[in-house]
Amino acid sequence: MLEYLKKSVLTGVGMALRSKAEIEEMAKEFAENAKMNQAEAEEFLDECRQKYEDARSGLDKKIEAAIENVLKRLDLPSRSDLLELNRRIDALAEKIEK
């Protein structure tokens, strides 16, 4: 039962959507309620911190991928496309001035 509760506390999306302070407070309360000894509580808190970082990182990567996907679908020019166009415009302007 304790393992089941620990796993439910550590779910990825829930961890990513909470602040680090909230996660630490929730883990401390859980450790107290589960009557964990100091070593178990510290290990559980470390596990919560790591899961939080993993979930946050995974969420960030998914958001970045979704944004890239949307930008591709919108067919917007990339920064390198714009820089290339500016370079070509500068070259044409230079030719016209001569």
Q: Tell me the average pLDDT across 8-28.
A: 64
Rounded CA separation 22/24 (Å)? 5
Per the structure block, which two tokens stand in for 13? 């999306």
Percent above pLDDT 70 for the chain: 76
Nearest of 1, 18, 17, 6 to residue 46 by alpha carbon: 6
Q: Tell me the average pLDDT across 40-53.
A: 79
The pTM for the full model equals 0.46
